[in-house]
Amino acid sequence: MAKKFIIGVDLGGTNLKIALLDLKYRIKDKNILSTQVCLKKENLISTIADAINKIIENNRIKRTDILGIGLGLPGPVDIKRGLVHFLPNIAGYTEVNFAQILKRRLGLPVSLDNDANLMCLAEYKLGAAKGFKNIVCLTLGTGVGGGIIIEGKLYRGSNDAGGEIGHIPINERGPRCNCGGIACLETYIGNNSILREARRLFRRDISLEELSSLAKKPDKRAQALWSKIGGRLGVALVGVVNLLNPDCIVIGGGVAGAGKILFARLREVISRQAMSVQSRHLKIVKARLGNNAGLIGAAILVKERVRL
Ligand SMILES: [Zn+2]
């Protein structure tokens, strides 16, 4: 019987999102849960399974109409075995076979991938990078994720763990990163370090949204901080541009909302420091699919793998 739906799941450091999509990747229903609240419950995977059951029941869908479940996880994964090696920003999930456990609980096929790979896939097929062939995608949040498409295909590396742009070191010495490395890009431009710097600058707690709107006012201190972040990101991307010679870089996630200043500084650093042949025709664009990119990518993963 022809399948009609796909379930997309996107686990992030902040939110767990579950969506029902049709085979044209249109979101029919979506639930957002707090990851922190889910982690307080006994078992994160059971919570995910319950949330999937709930969305199936609420929409009165037959299980036989579902092609599969696509799951995006914020860490390095083993795609064939369906497990995550570890989650840098969620403790306690080392070598856990999410796909097998969920499959057993739900009786549906489960495919999983790194969340940034899925975002990259979505932006490539349906979003800001549509029409390009060599793409680097970044998602800026609690963690800094990355995905790479080479000649129209997702590049995963020999252990499915490639594309970790957030863990490119930008200094010889610096803060220790959750991944075990030192001075990774993520330790400089991850949400937590931006908020820490903002707190020092304004001598109070300040949210990323407020920091963005202050910069638009314009508040000189907020502008200088976003410019500094754009500069650091730029340094890492100069290396990426020289190495991979992409035709398009897509930047998404909360920090991308800082907009003009961040992008202006980033472009300036790349045009000044990257090799001219690689950077001349490069497009740097803002992600288009927003918070739904991971869910749409998860659905693409299911559909492309199963092949109708
Ligand atoms: Zn790292």
Band the pLDDT of 1: cuts 50, 70, 90.
low
Give the right CATH number for 5-118+292-306 from 1.10.3720.10, 3.30.420.40, 3.40.50.11890, 3.40.50.720: 3.30.420.40
Contact 99, 105 (CB under 8 A): no
Residues 73-108: pLDDT tens digits? 998 999 999 999 998 878 889 999 999 999 999 999
Separation of CA 52 and ligand 1 centre (Å): 32
Q: How far is the CA of 47 from the centre of ligand 1 (A)?
A: 28
Residue 284 clears pLDDT 90, i.e. is over it: yes
Residues paired with residue 147 on neighbouring β-strands, in sequence order: 137
pLDDT of residue 39: 82
Q: What local confidence, expressed as pLDDT, does residue 308 receive?
A: 43
Mean per-residue pLDDT, 10-33: 94
CA dihedral angle for residue 216, residue 286, residue 256, residue 145, rounded to 10 degrees? -170
**Distance from the alpha carbon of residue 146 to the mean position of ligand 1, in angstroms:** 12
Q: Residue 119: is its pLDDT beyond 90?
A: yes
Cα–ligand 1 centroid distance for 166 (angstroms): 7
Ligand 1: distance of its center to the CA of 143 in Å?
A: 9
Comparing 52-56, 66-70, 216-220, the range with the smallest average pLDDT is 216-220
**Å from CA of 305 to ligand 1 middle:** 30
- Tell how far the Cα of 217 is from the centroid of ligand 1, in angstroms: 33
Look-up: residue for tokens 């001075």?
Answer: 183
DSSP assignment of the chain equals ----EEEEEEE-SSEEEEEEEETT--EEEEEEEEHHHHHHSS-HHHHHHHHHHHHHHHTT--GGGEEEEEEEESS-EETTTTEES--TTSTT-SSB-HHHHHHHHHSS-EEEEEHHHHHHHHHHHTSTTTT-SSEEEEEESSSEEEEEEETTEE---TTS----GGG-B-SSS-PBPTTS-BSBHHHHHSHHHHHHHHHHHHTS---HHHHHHHHHTT-HHHHHHHHHHHHHHHHHHHHHHHHH--SEEEEESGGGGGTHHHHHHHHHHHHHHS-HHHHTT-EEEE-SSGGGHHHHHHHHHHHHHH--
Reply yes or no on whether the pLDDT at 229 is more than 50. yes
Question: What mean pLDDT comes out for the span 230-239?
Answer: 96
Q: What percent of the chain has pLDDT over 90?
A: 82
- pLDDT value at residue 118: 96
CA of 54 to the centre of ligand 1 (A): 36
Query: How many whole angstroms from 90 Cα to the centroid of ligand 1?
Result: 14
- pTM value is 0.92
Q: How far is the CA of 252 from the centre of ligand 1 (A)?
A: 19
Q: What is the dihedral of CA 88, 94, 95, 96, to 10 degrees?
A: -100
Calculate how far, in angstroms, residue 189's C-alpha sits from the geometric centre of ligand 1: 11
CA of 135 to the centre of ligand 1 (A): 22
Q: Tell me the HSE value of 144 on the side-chain side, using a 13 A CA sphere.
A: 28
Question: Could you check whether the bond before residue 76 is cis, i.e. omega within 30 degrees of 0?
Answer: no
Q: How far is the CA of 70 from the centre of ligand 1 (A)?
A: 26
**pLDDT at 115 > cutoff 50:** yes
State mean pLDDT over 228-239.
Answer: 96
Q: Show me where the domains of the chain are located.
A: 5-118+292-306, 131-287
Query: Which CATH number applies to 131-287: 3.30.420.40, 3.40.50.1000, 3.20.20.70, 3.20.20.140?
Result: 3.30.420.40
Q: What is the pLDDT of residue 237?
A: 97
Q: Could you tell me the distance, in angstroms and rounded to a whole number, from the CA of residue 137 to the centre of ligand 1? A: 17
Same topology, domains 5-118+292-306 and 131-287? Answer is yes
Please give the distance, rounded to the nearest whole angstrom, from the Cα atom of residue 190 to the centre of ligand 1.
10
d(CA 247, ligand 1 centre) in Å: 26
Query: How much distance in Å is there from the Cα of 248 to the middle of ligand 1?
Result: 24
Q: Whole-number mean pLDDT of the chain?
A: 93
Say how many Å lie between the CA of residue 232 and the centre of ligand 1: 15
Residue 27 pLDDT > 70: yes
pLDDT at residue 289 greater than cutoff 90: yes
75: CA distance to ligand 1 center in Å?
A: 11
* pLDDT digit string, tens, across residues 256-270: 667 788 999 999 999
Residues 57, 58, 62, 65, CA torsion sign = negative
Give the residue-averaged pLDDT of 57-64.
Answer: 96
Look at residue 306 in the predicted model and tell me its pLDDT: 57
